[in-house]
Amino acid sequence: MLSKTESLISSFPRKPRGRGGEMKKFVSVFSIFFAILLIAGFALSQEDPDPNSPTPILISHSDSTRTLAIPAKQWRGQLPKEDTRAFAYGAEIVIFITNIELMPDEGANAFRVYIQDSSGREYRFPVLDLQPVKGKGWIYGLTVQLIDEIGYWEEPPAQGDVLIRVSWRGLTSNRTRLGIGFVGGKIEDDPESKPTPAPMEPPKKNQDNTAEYVGRRWSGDRIRFMEQATFGPTPALDARIRRIGIRAWLEEQFNMPYPSAFPYPNLPLMPSTPPPDCNGNDGDGVPDNPPNCYRERYGMYSAQSWFYKEAFYGEAQLRHKVAWALSQIWVISGTDIQQSSHMIAYHQVLSRNAFGNWRQLMYEMTLNPGMGEYLDMARSTKNNPNENYAREILQLFNVGLFMLNLDGTYKRDAQGNLIPTYDQQVVNNFTKVFTGWSFCEDTTQCPNRTQGAINFKDPMLLRPNNHDLTAKTLLDYPGASTTRYIPACSNCTTISAITTYANNSLNQALDNIYNHPNVAPFISRILIQHLVTSDPTPAYVQRVATVFNANRSNPNQLKEVIKAILLDPEARGDVKTEPNYGKLREPVQFLTNIARQFDVRSADRTDLSDGVVSVETNSMGQLAFMAPSVFNYYPPDYVIPGTSLNAPEFAIYTTSTSIARANIVNTLVFNRINVNTGRGVTKGTSISLADLEALAAADASGNQLLDELNWRLLHGTMSNQMRNRILQALNAVPATDARLRAQTAAYLVLTSSQYQIQR
């Protein structure tokens, strides 16, 4: 059989067989072949490196699945003798792992250790240290304390054998047996479990189990990346990233104009009390001018429909995605913000700074009138101070309640207690700093000032007579000496002097917050949660926080942070086998992920969707730009009851919202969101399963259909049990009904727990 190159060469017209013709043919063929090599070389140079980490192996005895372990105090750096013993709950022991490739400075906080006891409960034990074994650098001793790290369970594990495993970079090891209290008990080994004795030589590099999941080179990683960096994969986007690579695509995104599909709605500022010709009251005899004025200007309708259209069709997906994440940190809500124009001005601050500097974002958000309205800074004066913004810029937006290590874990005092970051007195002092700013109504400084309407577009402006001029003492931490104390204004006898003092005080207070050591780990962890996984390891947080700190003066600081999050080895890879890895798809992204995968368009398929899908996401527990409080839709530290798993999105996952998830899939797969003038659905929304129908028609067995869904929706990780159950359902549908077969398969995959957890 000819190679592709030989076939290509042989297809060219032949020259005459004379000597000159042969030479010309040789030169022509050589030129073509050289060009092919250049193109191939260029393509290869653009290709991303292998994203897969090896799967860790927990070492057992040579003739059983019992964990090779030794009390930490007895370990001298070498592999211990195989000894069948039990360990007391609370003891520190060393277990041994292999088949890992560590980065510089990657240590114990990159690992997590889980055990399951005979009652089925899972505990997470703290990892204290990681050291290579003497003379066998490919094996590491992991020091673990046998105590519940989360503290969820009121009682220790059931005594006897437990199954223990090690997690690293979203990959889980095999499970081996470990005795707590005594050896033995009723717990059974995992099926196909076998001894994994210590290897006497280094394992071959990158030997893992991902090959069985991957049908196209690193396709699993590309699908996973698109789910993290965008509002959902599309076939066109997959082809683009496959051609240029993840890193090149990121650079495109960092420089792409935004918005890219639909411009921000250009809505005028309206009076707080709707005028008669824009009050939505069809019974008053006064028609809305323009039509639908009330719906489009009052409330969040225009902001929401624009947001979804940009999510469905925009090319600048990464900026849109990061701005959405930032909106769930710097929260304001349409529960109090009246008009879409107000919310759009706020969102423009987020999108403009999505790849910028965090300190600049702090400044612009502090003076944003939407934030000033929502958290009352616009009404805070020296005679009537309001602490809402002062409290939340500390607690929710930047530093959190307790002191953190760089890896996001809590610092503790000598008695083991958490260390507060601030007290009420500090809040009171920040409150003084934030007095005096209000809506921008000056005719010379406020270009968007509108007669009869509050200016929610221009940054808030200082009213000097309302600013507190007394001394303020702010956050105290190592290095805070230059920003902690703001003296009282000694020469504030003029408006100009007060203005200078107030603006300097504001900037000093923001510097005081920005330079707090908590900011990097606090923000890094939340951004990781929104983009990649709900419960990142401390090592992942530390790597990203280090990038945050290294770019403190960089105007593109967040660009580097986002890149670090998305390219980290804990994010990348075709498959993540750790059961606790990933995140529940929040309702907004659950819907957009489905829509983008299946060519979202209008209900009649003749136009683009109008983006009016808020009723559908609201039923699932999330209404865009309508967070129920400043604490967002869900808290970042939410732990699923009955588990040790930090999983924020599950805070809004209830019996009702779980049913709503199935219902919206049913609507999209078997029907559509039809035009509904009553709720402003002007074009509706539908998806297309035409390509799936073609596969169903071509293959009566259903295997090709499931292969496609497995690749596109589950990046190749569909379990055999799930596949068999879906095939049973497909076989119940006549092979002649390709449409129903495609719908059935898509519905079952999209409503499955495997899909609803983004991994």
CA atoms within 13 A on the CB side of 703: 2
SS3 (DSSP) at 703: helix
Cis peptide before 290 (omega within 30 of 0): yes
Q: Where is pLDDT greater, at 35 or 135?
A: 135
Domain range annotation of the chain: 4-46, 57-209, 381-441+455-517, 520-570, 583-758
- The one-character DSSP state at 339 is B
φ, ψ for residue 112 (rounded to 5)? -130, 145
Tens of pLDDT, residue by residue over 86-132, are: 999 999 999 999 999 999 999 999 999 999 999 999 999 999 999 99
Task: Identify the pLDDT of residue 214.
Answer: 41
Q: Where is pLDDT greater, at 35 or 554?
A: 554
Tens of pLDDT, residue by residue over 54-80, are: 999 999 999 999 999 999 999 999 999
Pairwise CA distance, residues 634 & 620, whole Å: 13
Residue 642: band (very low, low, confident or very high) from pLDDT cuts 50, 70, 90: confident
Give 57-209's CATH code, choosing from 2.60.40.10, 2.60.120.10, 1.20.1250.20, 1.10.10.10. Answer: 2.60.40.10
384-394 mean pLDDT: 98
Pick from 207, 70, 56, 66: nearest CA to 139 = 56
Question: What's CA 291's distance to the chain center, in Å?
Answer: 39
Residue reference for tokens 């009869």: 452
Pairwise CA distance, residues 303 & 301, whole Å: 6
Question: What's CA 248's distance to the chain center, in Å?
Answer: 20
Task: Identify the pLDDT of residue 205.
Answer: 65
pLDDT at position 738 over 50:
yes
Two tokens, residue 338: 């009246």
pTM: 0.92
Task: Identify the pLDDT of residue 153.
Answer: 72
pLDDT at position 598 over 50:
yes
225-249 mean pLDDT: 96
With both helix axes pointing from N to C terminus, report the angle between 587-597 and 301-313 in degrees, rounded to the nearest 10.
40
Two tokens, residue 262: 């639909």
Two tokens, residue 565: 């999050």
pLDDT at position 33 over 60:
no
Tens of pLDDT, residue by residue over 565-576, are: 999 999 999 999
Q: pLDDT over 90 for what percent of the chain?
A: 87
DSSP result, 505-554: HHHHHHHHHHTSTTHHHHHHHHHHHHHT-SS--HHHHHHHHHHHHHTTT-
Task: Identify the pLDDT of residue 41.
Answer: 37
Pick from 348, 258, 343, 345: nearest CA to 301 = 343
pLDDT at position 206 over 60:
no
Pairwise CA distance, residues 385 & 372, whole Å: 13
Residue 16: band (very low, low, confident or very high) from pLDDT cuts 50, 70, 90: very low
